[in-house]
Each structure stands twice: as C-alpha cells, then as structure tokens.
Amino acid sequence: MRFMEGIQNPVAKRIAQWAFRLVKIGAAGAVAVVILSVLMLGYSFIPVHIENPVSNTDYIWPAGSVWFRVTEGIGYGKFDNNGFNNPEVIEHPDILLLGSSHMEAQYVPQSDSVSAVMNDLFAGEHEVYNLGISGHTIYKTCQYLPKNIELYRDSVKYVILETFFVSLTQEDVDNVLNHTVQYASSKHNPVMQFVNEVPGLRIMDHQRKVGFFDLFKDSGSRPNVFSIDGDEYSSEVSASDLPAYDRLFQYLEDIEKDTGVELIIYYHPTETFDDEGHILFEEGNAYEAFAAAAEAHNIDFVDVADDFTKMFYEEHHVAHGFCTGKLGVGHLNSYGHRASAEALVRFIREKDKAQTQPEKEADTNVND
C-alpha cells in the first residue's frame, strides 16, 4: 500500500501493517455476517422477545410480529396482540393451554398447532387460547398457573398444562411452591441486544449455546442425549425425590379447590424404536409416581402415548421429529399436534358429558 511506503520507522510500519490486516479481517467478518443474515431470512426469521407486562409468562413476542423458521420442519405464523402464537387474541377463552416450546409451536404452521386444531374441532363449542412459551416446563407453568387463572377468571373452565417429561425433583418443586423458578429475562445488555437483532450473529450465538464447540471435542466427550430447551430428563428418579410428586399435586389440587377451575395435565412422551421398528415409550418409576400422584389428588392426566402408537401403526407417522432431523427426535410435528389435539378434545368432551349427565338426571327427577 502506498501510504505504508511513506512510513520510515520500522516499528510504526509494522504496527500499520498489523492494523491494516485487522481492518481487512474485520471487513471480511462484517461482509460474512451480512451475507449470513440475508441467508437467514429464508431459514429462521423471528423477532426478539420482550418483557411481559402482565407477568403471566417470562416473556412475550412483539405484538403482531411475523415469524418463519425451517430449523425443524417448516413453521410460520404471526403472533397475536398479546405476543403469543395464535391467529388472534381470544378475549374470553374457557380453555387455557400452558406449555413449553412444543406448545409455542414455532416448528409447524400456526394452523397446525394443538390449540388451532382444537379450536377447529370444537367449532365454537369451546375456545382454546394458547399461552405456550419456549422454556416453560411444567415447573414454570405451575408457578404461573394462579396468575393465568386470575387473568381469565371470568371465562376459564379448564387449564391444560403440557409436559414432555414426568421426572420431578424436590428442588424444582420447592422453587414452584416458593415462586422461585429461574426467570428467563428478556432484558439484554447492549452487546447481546445487538447480537439478537442481527440474524447472522443471533444464529451463531444460538449454535454456541447448543454445542457448536462440541465439534472440536473428542467424540467420546460429546453429549449424546437429546434434550429440549437445554435440559435432559430421566425416566427414573431417586427415592429422595419421590415425595416431590405429592407436594406438587397437592399444590395443584389446592388451586382447583380454591378457583373451581379444572386442571388437565397433558403428557406427550418421546417415542423410541427397537431394532425391529416397533415404537416404544420409556416408562420408569418417574411415570408411575406422576400418574399415581395425579390420581391421588384428582388431577386429570392425559397421556397420549396410546394415540401416538395407534397413529404409528395405522397411519405410519411419528409424533416428534421432522424430515430435517432424526426420526422421533425433536419437537412435536404436525402429526403429533393433531393427534394430541384430538385426544384432548375427546377427553374434554367426555368430561363435559359426565358433568351434564347428573344435571339431566336431576331435571328428570324433578319432572317426575
């Protein structure tokens, strides 16, 4: 470069050379981020989440913002004015759906989500409002349960709490009861705010979080257990954690009695397959403890494993995973959402029928 030729001092010249190299590296990096950001528009286009002013979830999405992603399957939609994944706000829902990224359903078209399919099947019989948010496991939905019932107390009859695991611990249940479940803040420092607003940087940061640097580890030290939202859940729990089940379900039973709202826990286990291609669902002592505690405290427990099994053998579909990944690994796909919605609609209709039957019998006795 000509300007360097005019530098006579060797030290100054070396510094100028290194500075020029750094500028070139920075410029190349900036161009790469711009190119990656443009490419990301066809891969994952989602807004940056914001604080929830109503405080019934950790965070929400900007009202009316659109989203699109093909990270798992192909998902697209538009967040409602409350910042949740619904076509529009339902002001007076009689069914609330609380849950994790499975219910947030950013991996399927919005019209294929559990809540959307339930509303289609009910056809005005009930109105389901989806409050699913990524990272909201059964612990967070239980912690936020009283607040959500309070917000919709004039209309809500049923609250569905989704879970993809049934292993509980004393520590996590303590956090629920003490309202100290870890909070996922939407506030970022200026650097992270910038990273989140630039698609190219955002995807690189995401890859870092989910294990990009594991590529440079020895194969024996890499994680080999799939997890959702960064956590892993076992089918077995220690004897010391078994009392946690009774404590959590007592908490739920008390809420039912105090509010008159009926709670339904909806469980969608992840499928596995044996060498002959048969579908399997792992059921250890965690499942036994969970189901027993639900029954002991009169909390409805809907396990859709049988529905997934029937769908697999009759329709040859699995409930989790997409063509972009492994069979049975990942979030609920459109088939899993529909099978779950059909099971929940069938269950709620049976409850409605059981509740109206005594009223009809009482009316018949009065007329007699």
Q: What is the pLDDT of residues 260-293, one digit of tens each?
A: 999 999 999 999 898 898 999 988 899 999 999 9
Burial class, 217, CB count within 10 angstroms (exposed 0-12 / middle 13-18 / buried 19+): exposed
Q: State how far the Cα of 310 lies from the Cα of 317, in Å rounded to an integer.
A: 9
Q: Cα separation of 111 and 105, whole Å?
A: 10
Phi and psi at residue 173, in whole multiples of 5°?
A: -65, -40
Residue 201 predicted with pLDDT over 70: yes
Residue 278 is predicted with a pLDDT of 92
Give me the torsion for CA of 349, 351, 354, 357, rounded to 10°: -50
pLDDT for the residue 216 = 56
Q: Is the pLDDT of residue 179 over 70?
A: yes
- pLDDT over 60 (residue 190): yes
User: Higher confidence at residue 345 or residue 205?
Assistant: 345
One-letter amino acid of 306 = D
Q: How far is CA 106 from CA 20, 101, 152, 172, 175, in A?
A: 44, 7, 24, 27, 28
Sign of CA dihedral 292, 293, 299, 300: negative
Residue 122 has pLDDT above 90, yes or no: yes
**Between the ranges 53-62, 216-225, 231-240, where is the mean pLDDT highest?**
53-62
Whether pLDDT at 363 is above 70: no
User: How confident is residue 220, by pLDDT bands cut at 50, 70 and 90?
Assistant: low
Higher pLDDT, 365 or 55: 55
Output the six-digit token pair for 76.
């697209």
Instruction: Return the higher-pLDDT residue of 361 and 102.
Output: 102
Contact status, residue 75 vs residue 137, Cβ threshold 8 Å: no
Q: State pTM to two decimals.
A: 0.85
d(CA 325, CA 71): 9
pLDDT of residue 334 exceeding 80, the answer is: yes
Question: Which residues are registered as beta bridge partners of 300?
Answer: 264
The per-residue pLDDT for 224 is 40
Closest by Cα among 272, 269, 270, 329 to 301: 269
Q: Could you tell me the CA-to-CA distances from 357 to 206, 257, 345, 350 in Å, in that order? A: 52, 22, 18, 11
What is residue 225's predicted lDDT score, i.e. its pLDDT? 38
Give the span between the Cα atoms of 60 and 49, in whole angstroms: 6
What strands, in cross-sheet order, belong to the sheet with 262-267?
Answer: 128-130, 95-98, 158-163, 262-267, 300-303
Q: Exposed, middle or buried, 133 (CB in 10 Å: 0-12/13-18/19+)?
A: buried
Q: What are phi and psi of 157, to 5 degrees?
A: -115, -40
Q: CA-CA distance, 179 to 175, in Å (whole number)? A: 6
Q: What is the DSSP letter of 181?
A: P
